[in-house]
Homo-oligomer: A and B are copies of this chain.
Amino acid sequence: MFGLLTDLYELTMAAGYVQAGKATEIATFELFIRHLPQRRNFVIAAGLEQAVEYLLGLSFTPEEIDYLRGLPQFARAPAEFFDILRRLRFSGDLWAVREGTPIFPGEPVLTIRAPLIEAQIVETYLLATISYQTMVATKAARIVETAGGRAVVEFGTRRAHSPQAGVLAARAAYIGGCIGTSNTLAGMQFGIPVYGTAAHSWVQSFTDELEAFRQLQKLLGAATIYLIDTYDTIEGARKAASLGRPLWGVRLDSGDLSTLSRRVRAILDEAGLHEARIMASGDLNEYKIRELVRAGAPIDAFGVGTELVTSADAPTLGAVYKLVELESNGVRRFTAKLSADKATLPGAKQVYRFEDHDLVACAGEPAPPGGKPLLEPVIRRGAILAELPSAAAARSHAAASLAALPAGVRRLESAEPYRVDYSQALRELAEQLRKHPGAGLASPASKTREGS
């Protein structure tokens, strides 16, 4: 499954590895972000569950292989290549940071150790699924932090970059701290609480707004949220209030939310509906929510869509997947890219978290006292080691991990960067490689990560 959902060059390289007799060399690739997106001081790792599903299900159908055979790029490919693709399954190891963990540039989110051909082909899909959920979980954490205890619900499927993105956004937003989503499929697939009552079309479909509200109350009882801005928000609030209990509250979706929420609060209170809540939605983000909170707007919950699921102020995450080691005939070689501004550090790594900083070290180094290793084994020789934590567990982990970070890191604007150190051994390795590019450094392959 999904074999062809990759960049063509992964497959031309795969054919080339077969041609050069390198397909079974054991490669180690690391996936990490190069830089923080603008205004971000951390990102929340997310998407591991989908990455694992992909790796465990990876295969090529006969039709896909026939398609490749017909492409000019494979006209000279060795016949053996197509046989290898036909049998290809992921047979390697995956180490990964637990979903919900805040991470920083240069720290591997996951490490693949597998035959070179497999490790290469999986690059594109892994990047796409990890980057997107990581970006949305991060955006959600920012919005939830700003909402200061008020509930935030993810409402963005319609504005996500494709329907699948909507489902994954719901999952990632939940991990990042939202209380739930409007995406029903995500609710079913991932056990996420689902929310939603009615749109403007509901009100418009009745000849009378009050009748629309009455029917909604009949259907939803204490879960009823009236959308009151189809014609006039204040009139809508009066009609909602006139129906009394049961209700959850009302939703505002346009206009000046600060002023309107106060006026609507007064209308609800006058009707004795003190427990009725006000939800606000409509192109919200962490900055607008901060203004509303600072202004003391009586809003109890926020519905956030477009800006959350597209991470609109930073809609890309510069995640990369880089070859750091290659073992062949019992010899391990470290590799790095030295391009201007895009240099990478060689060798498999481990990240240790301390109270106020992280240490990135070579995977084979002894663990430093007091540091918590972030990369854990997930798949070994193609088999999953243990069931992954649920989205709810990832959400709890994110909340606890964020609370443990220095407060400045959780600011909406760029703050003093979180301290990430590199071990002396790693720095020395990088320096040696810079002196001898291309050739890399050879060392006995015995000290693999498993031996660390």
Residue-wise, chain A 314-328 has the 8 Å CB interface mask toward B (1 for contact) of 011111011100100
Distance A185 CA – B8 CA, assembled complex (angstroms): 9
- Report which of B162, B182, B309 forms a contact with A168, defined as CB distance below 8 A: B162
Distance A315 CA – B316 CA, assembled complex (angstroms): 10
- Report which of B168, B194, B202 forms a contact with A8, defined as CB distance below 8 A: B194
Q: Does A333 contact B (CB under 8 A)?
A: yes
- Report which of B163, B309, B310 forms a contact with A125, defined as CB distance below 8 A: B163
Q: Does A2 contact B (CB under 8 A)?
A: yes
The answer to whether A8 and B315 touch across the interface, beta carbons within 8 angstroms, is no
* Stretch from A19-27, A362-370, A379-387, A409-417 that touches the partner: A19-27
Q: Does A128 contact B (CB under 8 A)?
A: yes
For residue A76, which residues in chain B have a CB less than 8 angstroms away from its CB? 218-221
Q: Does A373 contact B (CB under 8 A)?
A: no
Q: Does A155 contact B (CB under 8 A)?
A: yes
* Stretch from A91-99, A205-213, A261-269 that touches the partner: A205-213
Q: Does A12 contact B (CB under 8 A)?
A: yes
Distance A15 CA – B124 CA, assembled complex (angstroms): 41
Q: Does A138 contact B (CB under 8 A)?
A: no
The answer to whether A201 and B120 touch across the interface, beta carbons within 8 angstroms, is yes
Q: Does A401 contact B (CB under 8 A)?
A: no
Q: Does A288 contact B (CB under 8 A)?
A: no
CB closest residue in chain B, given A219? B16
The answer to whether A182 and B438 touch across the interface, beta carbons within 8 angstroms, is no
Most buried by B among A29, A166, A321: A166
- Report which of B29, B132, B158 forms a contact with A162, defined as CB distance below 8 A: B132
Give the shortest distance, in Å, between A328 (CB) and chain B (any CB): 9
Asked if A161 meets B155 with Cβ closer than 8 Å, knowing A7-B196, A184-B6, the reply is no
Q: Does A300 contact B (CB under 8 A)?
A: no
The answer to whether A5 and B185 touch across the interface, beta carbons within 8 angstroms, is yes
- Report which of B63, B207, B229 forms a contact with A339, defined as CB distance below 8 A: B229
Q: Does A105 contact B (CB under 8 A)?
A: no
- Report which of B158, B205, B310 forms a contact with A124, defined as CB distance below 8 A: B158
CB closest residue in chain B, given A232? B338
For residue A17, which residues in chain B have a CB less than 8 angstroms away from its CB? 205
Give the shortest distance, in Å, between A165 (CB) and chain B (any CB): 4
The answer to whether B167 and A165 touch across the interface, beta carbons within 8 angstroms, is no
The answer to whether A254 and B335 touch across the interface, beta carbons within 8 angstroms, is no
Asked if A12 meets B220 with Cβ closer than 8 Å, knowing A158-B124, A161-B132, the reply is yes
For residue A341, which residues in chain B have a CB less than 8 angstroms away from its CB? 254-255
Distance A135 CA – B2 CA, assembled complex (angstroms): 25
Give the shortest distance, in Å, between A310 (CB) and chain B (any CB): 5
The answer to whether B166 and A5 touch across the interface, beta carbons within 8 angstroms, is yes
Asked if A20 meets B157 with Cβ closer than 8 Å, knowing A12-B197, A163-B164, A323-B205, the reply is no
Most buried by B among A196, A209, A326: A196
CB contact list, A1-43 vs B, under 8 A: 2, 4-13, 15-17, 19-20, 22, 25, 27, 29
- Report which of B155, B158, B161, B208 forms a contact with A160, defined as CB distance below 8 A: B161
Q: Does A73 contact B (CB under 8 A)?
A: yes
A-B contact pairs, 13 of them (CB 8 A): A6-B184, A6-B185, A9-B182, A11-B184, A13-B199, A19-B219, A73-B194, A73-B196, A120-B201, A163-B164, A200-B339, A205-B323, A310-B315
